[in-house]
């Protein structure tokens, strides 16, 4: 069965930055052995505090650097605010790997990096003054067998009007030691019902969108509705994330819709619905 997440609907420029890369690296990790390499990039170098997220031990990772040898406000910069999982080293490896891939997927444009350590080495060689990349990973929720993780990158390029954000959710199944894809969570043949439930939540969100209310026809042409497979299973429902520019202007950030579990009964497999 597939272990990769399906592509998130987005505009081409943003999609090229992270979606295919996240899918590829998840597929690559599925082919790897169960043991990560001895050095799993930045997490292996840190001694941050370990806390509990639900019943999961989570270690904080904080790493900030400017380009070596560079001085002043124009220096390229990398900041990492991430997490590691002392009892689940393969998940730590995955988080590091996916964050690195979320910086770009076109092999003609991106460097030969697989981890954040390798990305930093490449970035220092290629970055322009004031370029910056911010990485963030956090546990969104822990529900039953699932650890839902939110991965976020923000890239700033010299001369650009604003940063380019990207967010990817991972739903880690503890018993199987792998990522859960959307079509694996849905009962076979019920994908249309998922689409209908998501559309209902979207329509409610759109009804409260002031930009859409001002000129519905133009808004619909500029930001047409699309489905998203970028989901996280939380105790409050299935959270579905959209890229910036996909269904709303940049000022709306990365829209997030929550489908209540009551709308997913008979759609999600029973093991992914919360106990009554």
| pTM for this entry | 0.83
Which residue reads 């996916």 in tokens? 98
Average pLDDT over residues 7-12: 33
CA distance 112 to 119: 8
For 147-177, the pLDDT digits (tens) are 999 999 999 887 776 788 899 999 999 999 9
State both tokens at 228.
Answer: 């998203």
State both tokens at 263.
Answer: 């709308």
For 13-52, the pLDDT digits (tens) are 343 344 444 444 444 444 443 444 444 456 555 557 888 8
Strand order in the sheet with 132-143: 50-53, 56-66, 77-84, 132-143, 146-156, 164-173, 178-179
From 257, 80, 97, 79, select the one nearest 170 (Cα to Cα): 97
For 206-226, the pLDDT digits (tens) are 999 998 899 999 999 999 999
Q: What percent of the chain has pLDDT over 70?
A: 80
CA distance 229 to 231: 6
The structural domains of the chain, ordered by start, are 50-180 (3.30.565.40), 183-272 (3.90.640.20)
**Residue 54's pLDDT band (boundaries 50, 70, 90)?**
confident
If residue 241 lies in a helix (H) or strand (E), which one and from where to where? strand 237-241
pLDDT value at 232 more than 90: yes
């Amino acid at each position: 069965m597939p272990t990769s997440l399906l592509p998130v609907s987005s505009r081409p420029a943003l999609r090229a930055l992270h979606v295919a890369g996240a899918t590829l690296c998840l597929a690559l990790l599925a082919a790897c052995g169960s043991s990560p390499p001895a050095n799993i990039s930045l997490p292996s170098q840190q001694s941050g505090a370990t806390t509990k997220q639900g019943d999961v031990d989570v270690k904080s990772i904080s790493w900030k650097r400017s380009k070596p040898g560079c001085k002043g406000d124009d220096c390229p910069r990398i900041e990492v605010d991430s997490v590691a999982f002392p009892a689940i080293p393969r998940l730590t490896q995955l988080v590091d790997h996916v964050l690195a891939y979320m910086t770009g997927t076109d092999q003609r444009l991106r460097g030969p990096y697989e981890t954040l350590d390798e990305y930093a080495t490449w970035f220092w060689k290629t970055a322009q003054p004031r370029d910056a990349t911010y990485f963030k990973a956090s546990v969104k929720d822990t529900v039953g067998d699932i650890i839902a993780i939110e991965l976020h990158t923000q890239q700033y390029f010299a001369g650009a009007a604003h940063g380019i954000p990207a967010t990817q959710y991972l739903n880690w199944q503890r018993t199987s030691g792998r990522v859960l894809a959307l079509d694996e969570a849905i009962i076979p043949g019920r994908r249309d019902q998922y689409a209908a439930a998501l559309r209902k939540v979207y329509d409610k969100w759109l009804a409260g969108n002031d930009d859409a209310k001002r000129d519905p026809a133009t808004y619909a042409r500029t930001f047409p509705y699309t489905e998203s497979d970028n989901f996280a299973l939380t105790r409050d429902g299935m959270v579905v994330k959209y890229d910036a520019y996909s269904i709303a202007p940049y000022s709306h950030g990365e829209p997030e819709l929550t489908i209540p579990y009551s709308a997913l009964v008979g759609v999600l497999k029973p093991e992914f619905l919360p106990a009554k």
